[in-house]
Chain A
Amino acid sequence: MPLDVITGNQAAGCALSLAGEANRTARGAACGIYPITPQTEIVEYVARFPFTKGRVVPVESEHSAMAVSMGASMSGARAFTASSSNGIAYMAENIMVAGYYRLPIVMVAVNRTLGPPWNIWADQGDTLMLRDFPWLQFYCETNQEILDTTLLAFRLAEDKRILLPALTCMDAFIVSHTQTETAQPEQSEVDRFLPDLDLPHRMHYNEARTLGGLAWPHEELSMRLEIDDAMKRVPSVYQECRKSFTEIFGRDPGDMLQTYEVDNADLILIASGTIATTAREVVRRRRASGEKVGLVKIKMFRPFPEAALREACQSASRVAVLDRNYAAGTGGIFWQDTRAAFHSYRDDVLIQNYLTGLCGGDVTPDVVDDILTNLASRAEASDPVWIGVETGRRTLQ
């Protein structure tokens, strides 16, 4: 497999294009595309790709980009798109609809601060805004991980036990625009990994069916329950897809929740995206000096891997949740879900939230080190701690 030096965006564009091309032996592929910084390079890649049986539709808005992809997906084609930040907010209505239509669309998102004021740097608030929609969500750390997870997302989303759309996310610029060595798969490998899409409820031109009309409460309720059932099946189907991926591509795309040095760890950091990379290095240094610290990286955010998270934190008395996102009036979103995961299972764990890297701020090893020191000194949890606020208000100092 060739190793190329490419950006995270190119890795994502490669995965989307190869996945689309793999469906040429079935009903083909199509997508609506629309530019927004820092995602644009992905749709440029897709627009240049010489699809055998595919169409890339350059539309007038993100809302229509998802609409075109939905039309293609309803027709049984493999469909995808990419977006970021306010583009995701503009697309939100159709993102939600794609989920309730049970369309296995894959979208790559480059996590960028929502404006105003305008800022193009990393913040997860854009995709976490979609957390209550029926979509799978994955947060990736490296170029290789975004490529692999995007391919895996198609297989998982299209599995008849799941049939839900999937988001694969990466931090703006830190991943999207950073070039690293990345293994780009061969088309033949992707062909083996992704079987022809066979969407059971696709539209047929000669079948009188109405997709998405009216429903009475009890009918719609049962459809919601089916979504819940599908979400519950995700962890086990994920492992099947992961195993198959490893066999075909010769590398592990990574577990939905990834641990580092959690055995006997008293203090555990919980992080996602590139913050996990920095945190891993800090944990390595602290372990080298004999401290019982560990890291849990949450890769899959929806469905939230509650049981795996509790298991990974078994030995911990204190955990720090590092959030590069903020839900107004509450705190970090991973923190909220972490607290919910422990609630009524364990009440002896101190769970402290640190809001760090918000609005594109840098999260350096020193920042993570300070967080660990702060966590170790705590007898009880407080309100979320804001890091990097220049007034010093509510910071670690």
Chain B
Amino acid sequence: MTATATVHQSEECLLRPGNTNCGGCGMSVGLTMLGRALAEAGDTCTLVIPACCGIVTAGAFPTTSYAVPTIATTFASSAAVASGVASIRDLNDEPGQVICWAGDGGTYDIGLATLSAAAERNENIIYICYDNEIYGNTGGQRSSATPVGARTSTTPSGKTENKKDIMSIMAAHRIPYAATLSVAHPEDFAHKISTALATHGMRFLLLHSPCPTGWKSEPGDSVDLVRLAVASGLFPLYEVHDGARYRINVESDGADPAEYFHRQRRFAPEEIDLRMTRRACADRVQRLRALAERHPIDG
């Protein structure tokens, strides 16, 4: 039932070497950065992972690639199982974070009601969604996080609907902390993990997680791609306190999003409306700037 391994409290190692994750996997880089940030803060965690690549990462019984306690849950249940785990941790005055580590399918789709309820209860957990914009573990089907235009095995001619704005949904719950993360910006990543660790209650972090297998991109391009997403305003890096106060952490430099699309074969040039995309990026950045100016974190 349980895979036991010698406790390996190597400060740097949350995800152990030798796992079978794909090259260029953003989730793997994210786990490594998370482990480092925890170690720097002198903190520990229990991972609660629903059905997704993140639990396949652990590997087969009796071994495990995770150097921390890890619980596999049903697809829709990570935030609820984590609520139970965190409750008993708090009743017993035990240290450590309870961190949900879930893909976009388990967050935007099947687990959304569970996540919303945990946010409404302000559970004392950290929820990290590594968003690769696809059901990756099942071979690349569309989710509500898949961006418009992307080809997946269930949208062979490109997705016709927009990506769901999960950050606005989570901010609307007025949870203590919500922020976006990019593996292209490790210092910002570390800052946000450390803010989350120092905050009590529900914390939601959204990681833009490149998936070369699903995105049909070169593994070596992963970090460049998500850097372009930040620079162009496709995936702005910002944080929201109490659902009310905003800060943009890395300003968009107005880079053209065209290259982001051209370097991924999930996007067919004829199915991407670059004019609309540029306008959407500008609108997104403008809206965030207005929020950050009107409701600043330091204000």
Contact = CB atoms under 8 A, between A and B. Distances in A.
Interface string B71-105: 11110110011111111110110111000000000
Most buried by A among B58, B81, B85: B81
A73 B81 CA distance: 10
Contact of B70 (A28, A63, A76, A210): A210
Contacts, number: 184
Interface in A12-38: 27-28, 30, 32
Contact of B59 (A61, A68, A214): A214
Given A57-B84, A64-B114, A209 B95 contact: no
Given A208-B68, A214-B61, A59 B117 contact: yes
Contacts of A210: 2-3, 58, 61, 64, 66, 69-72
Contacts of A101: 1
Interface stretch (B4-12, B180-188, B212-220): B4-12
Given A64-B80, A94-B74, A213-B61, A203 B85 contact: yes
A286 interface: no
Interface stretch (A175-183, A215-223, A388-396): A215-223
Contacts of A58: 121
Given A75-B85, A205-B44, A214 B80 contact: no
Contacts of B250: none
Nearest to B60: A214
A55 B87 contact: yes
Interface residues of A, number: 48
Contacts of A77: 84, 87-88, 91
Most buried by A among B60, B70, B83: B83
B166 to A, nearest CB: 17
Nearest to A215: B61
B254 to A, nearest CB: 42
Interface string B122-150: 00000000000000000000000000000
| CB-based closest 7 A-B pairs | A71-B84, A67-B80, A60-B117, A75-B88, A212-B72, A64-B80, A67-B77
Given A32-B80, A101-B1, A210-B58, 20 more contacts: A30-B87, A53-B91, A60-B116, A63-B114, A64-B77, A67-B77, A67-B81, A68-B84, A70-B73, A71-B85, A74-B71, A93-B74, A97-B73, A210-B61, A210-B66, A210-B70, A213-B61, A214-B58, A214-B60, A215-B60
